[in-house]
A and B are shown apart, each in its own frame.
Chain A
Amino acid sequence: MDKKLLISALQEIAGDSNVLFSDMDLTLYGYDASLDKGMPDVVVLPGSTEEVASVVSLAHREDVPIVARGSGTNLSGGTIPTHGGIILHLSRMNRILEIDIPNRTVTVEPGVITLDLQNRLLEEGFVYTPDPASQKVSTLGGNVGENSGGPHCLKYGVTTNHVLGAEVVLHDGNVVWIGGKSQDCPGYDLMGLLVGSEGTLGVVTKMILRILRAPEAIKTMLAIYDTIEDAGNTVSAIIAEGIVPATLEMMDQLVMKAVEESVHAGYPLDAAAVLIIELDGLSDGMEQQSQKILEICRANGVRDIQIAKDDAERARLWAGRKGAFGAVSRLRPSYMVCDGTVPRTKLPEVLNKVLQVGEKYDLPIGNVFHAGDGNLHPLILFDERDEKELAAARKASSEILEICVEAGGTISGEHGIGIEKLQEMPLIFSEADFEAMRKVKRAMDPGDILNPGKVIPAAQS
């Protein structure tokens, strides 16, 4: 379709002010939080399900690729318009439609900011637990698309464990509800399929999320270590002991230094690593459990343990962790984050191999990650303007993911595949596995207009 015609058709649907096509706008919508870039033909900001349906229907009719997105915080290139076409930015659909305390659900539009919902729910004494570090800007629609994780997923599960139903615009512009407020809807678990499909199977326009009563008590501890090995051993020991804390996060020296310079969380700069260990639940038994954790820390050579005295101190500890990715960019112009995840018993071993990869390629690697899940986030720091460094960073990243797979793990725990991790997909999947996924894609989007080229490597012909 002629670009001018496309623009005017979209203006007809969403109104002139909600269609963007200046060079600057298109450049701004050409990237996300990963390293790659693309360029859309046009950006549209719909205000309702009907408008989304009309846009998708138009794209379907005219065979134009369409990339639905929220705030674009994803780390794998999932929202980059690699095939041009339409960017469907859902930020205007940002209403919390219903908070249903008796049924323990909320109904929201996809553009609601994750933290906004969480703050609103706290007023009612409830929580929505998935808490990606980008929750201040990330949208719930984006979280559903990526199946986002976060520190508290150790105990409570990732996004997919908290989504009950959704209104979905299908590839042809038809609108269908899947799931609902009731659990156990008869039929295939379409919701489970859709969460984490990175916008390649449909566009979610409303979501029903499960909420939980806020825990009665929370205890947050900072355990400080002189070696990374001791910290890693502590994590494996806590899990092996059978304790499932709410969070079990690790940060190494390089990351702590960057964080201290930007948010002043009070981390010890001379330590090799820290663990943020949080317990939540009933107040009864929490003291005993934290004593047990202290014992394990001591048995593994902890230097010091600080316990947050109040909410303000707890918030400060977390501000450092949540701001870590941002802070690290102070050190070098670019970073590449690997999202490899390993069985928890393998953590000390794999962490050590990751450090060796950094030495091999002479690139600084910072570690800030969900240790309790075995979900590593080695941040490879480099300068993308230096082609040699960029190539080395890509190689190092691939090698780290290989190490994770060899240890019985996977290439992405929560960031998704997008385009950045496509080349590593054959490490864990066979051609038959890919073909099974392609069948699903073809069934849900026969014209391949919904975020084409993402998640599944193209078939080799």
Chain B
Amino acid sequence: MNMQKFEDIVGREHLRTDPEKCRRYAVDGMIPRAVLFPGEVEEVSEIVKIACREQFSVVPWGGGTRMTKGTAPSHLDLVICAERLNKVIDIDAGNLTVTVQAGVRLFDLQEAVAGEENRCYIPVDRGGKESDESVCSLRENRGCFVPLDVPAGNRATIGGIIAANDSGPRRLLYGLPRDVVLGVRYVAPNGEIIGMGGKTVKNVAGYDLCKLMIGSMGSLGILCEMTLRLLPLPERSGTWLCIFAGLQETGTFVDGIFGRPLLPCAMEILNGEALEGLPPEWSEEGQGELFGVLAAFEGAEEAVGRMKAEMESLADDAGALHKVYLDDDEHRRFWSRYRSAEAALSRDQNDAISVKLNYPVSCYRDVLEFVESARMKDKGHLASYTHAGSGVTRIHLLVEDGSKDRFEKILTWTQKLLMHVHSLGGNLVVEHAGRELKKTLPVWGAMRDDLKLMQWIKRAMDPEGIFSPGRFVGNL
């Protein structure tokens, strides 16, 4: 491979070819021949044009927090890292949008928009002329936030979150990346820079290729810039952490809340193991057989007060053994720590696997019963985190001794679990597992009829098959 061309594009200091240095960017054990750190979208385009011509396979890289997701690539020549594409291009707080490059970390972006004072607009006077000065919001706290909520938000980049379609507990109120992304600029597999969508909250001009890029795991190109919606920071917030003896009581509480017109922002069910894994100030020993619910709400002061009171009485009615209320600052501190705690489990460690289940929202009890009965039988370490109301459960399972016997057991169990959620109309995705295990696990769950459409699209958008070959659903 002739590295000179790449060096000419990004400069020597932004190109790594030493195998030892490239090892850090290995994908499922496969070490790239070069890692590139472009600083401009145009540089990405130039790199990809060469890759397309020379048939080099490319894997895009954000913060590296989801690189264990997906099947192993069939080839890997270049990793294009978005680290230097880290400019916040435009914060338009008056319009409630922000445009950023792919390598900006969510945590940094949240900090930037939370302190945003400039929520202003330019008024027009009665003579139809624009005023010389813009008018700004009178609100005391003018800050905003990006309604994305992912584990490892301190390391995950915006580009990575969108490419992996990542989400967290607060998706219940704020939605998914597909509801937050208004526009994207990406470099297509032929090296062309493509722009779709924009700064408006409504846009139906042309095909919505933004949606195709969201969750495409770098298989259709590399995301370079995104425009996202912002929301004003909520006036007040709070979380109830309630402990229940069993699934029955837990379900009574959760369904009780969903049976009322309340608008929680997260409704997270933790099994005993997950409870014990909470940061020490919020966890207690001996909760291994219990269940916990984190009911969170954010909004106007009066609405938050009402939800706090109603949920408290619902928790008592359902027989909560113990409950703790986390107010504003503590709510924020808890949720940032909580996300890191969950992320820690799925970090680059070969002795754990993470599985994400999706299913129709009403089936959460059924799924949890299935999961818990396996845990009891197996006596293994299994923590489950359920986004109730969204139909998603994340499971972290320790592989422990790594013996062949243990591997077999995990494989059999994952397949049973897949069959079970599939029968409910859901599916399963392995979000993290060691290289060896992934070879046999159903990494992308059960294939469906629509796979052929995905194949058509992949073939049309990446005819040479150079983008993340083999990593996506159906080994696309």
Contacts and interface: CB of A to CB of B under 8 A. Distances in A.
Interface of A: 100, 102-105, 146-147, 149, 153-154, 157-158, 160-161, 170, 176-178, 180-193, 195-197, 201, 213-216, 227, 229-230, 232-233, 236-237, 239-244, 281-282, 284-285, 288-289, 300, 341-346, 348-349, 351-352, 355-356, 370, 373-375, 408-417, 421, 425, 428-430, 432-433, 435-437, 439-444, 455-456
Interface in B431-476: 444-445, 448-454, 456-457, 459-461, 472-474
Contacts, number: 302
B207 A349 contact: no
Contacts of A349: 122, 124, 130
B121 A190 contact: no
B427 A185 contact: yes
Given A177-B450, A182-B425, A416 B204 contact: yes
B202 A455 contact: no
B320 interface: no
Interface string B173-216: 00110110000000010001111101111111111111110111
26 contacts: A100-B360, A103-B360, A146-B204, A160-B211, A161-B179, A183-B176, A183-B358, A187-B444, A187-B450, A197-B207, A216-B261, A233-B123, A237-B121, A237-B123, A240-B119, A240-B121, A282-B299, A285-B301, A343-B199, A344-B95, A373-B201, A373-B202, A374-B200, A433-B195, A440-B461, A456-B207
B391 A455 contact: no
Given A242-B231, A375-B202, A413-B202, 15 more contacts: A154-B201, A182-B358, A188-B212, A196-B208, A216-B261, A284-B306, A342-B200, A348-B121, A349-B122, A373-B201, A412-B204, A413-B204, A433-B196, A435-B192, A440-B212
A374 B429 CA distance: 39
A147 B208 contact: yes
B113 to A, nearest CB: 12
A440 to B, nearest CB: 6
B191 to A, nearest CB: 10
B454 A242 contact: no
Interface of B: 92-97, 119-126, 128, 130, 135-139, 142, 144, 165, 167, 175-176, 178-179, 188, 192-196, 198-212, 214-216, 220, 231-232, 261-263, 299-303, 305-307, 356, 358-362, 390-392, 425-427, 429, 444-445, 448-454, 456-457, 459-461, 472-474
Contact of B194 (A105, A237, A436): A436
B204 A415 contact: yes
A-B CB proximity, top 6 nearest: A192-B211, A242-B232, A285-B300, A285-B302, A443-B460, A102-B362
A236 B120 CA distance: 8
Nearest to B426: A182
B207 A284 contact: no
A164 to B, nearest CB: 10
A413 B202 CA distance: 5
Given A184-B165, A282-B306, A178 B450 contact: yes
B304 to A, nearest CB: 8
A440 B207 contact: yes
A138 B138 CA distance: 41
Given A241-B139, A349-B122, A432-B193, A288 B200 contact: no
A265 B198 CA distance: 36
Contact of B200 (A232, A343, A352): A343
B204 A417 contact: yes
Contact of A189 (B119, B175, B212, B302): B212
Contacts of B207: 193, 196-197, 201, 437, 440-441, 455-456
Interface centre among B139, B307, B361 (most CB of A within 10 A): B361
Contacts of A183: 176, 358, 390-392
A88 B415 CA distance: 43
B199 to A, nearest CB: 5
Contacts of B392: 183-184
Contact of B97 (A170, A244, A289, A343): A343
Nearest to B309: A284
Contact of B461 (A178, A416, A436): A436
Contact of B92 (A160, A188, A345): A345
Given A183-B390, A188-B215, A410-B200, A437 B121 contact: no
B206 A439 contact: no
Nearest to B144: A242
Nearest to B446: A186
A456 B196 CA distance: 13
A282 B262 contact: yes
Contact of A288 (B135, B215, B232, B300): B300
B427 A355 contact: no
A236 B358 contact: no
Contacts of A176: 449-450, 452-453
A191 to B, nearest CB: 8
A97 to B, nearest CB: 15
Contact of B362 (A103, A190, A232): A103
Contacts of A102: 361-362
A334 B358 CA distance: 50
Contact of B95 (A214, A343, A425): A343
B451 A410 contact: no
A84 B466 CA distance: 40
Contacts of B302: 282, 284-285, 288
A436 to B, nearest CB: 5
Contacts of B212: 188-189, 192-193, 440
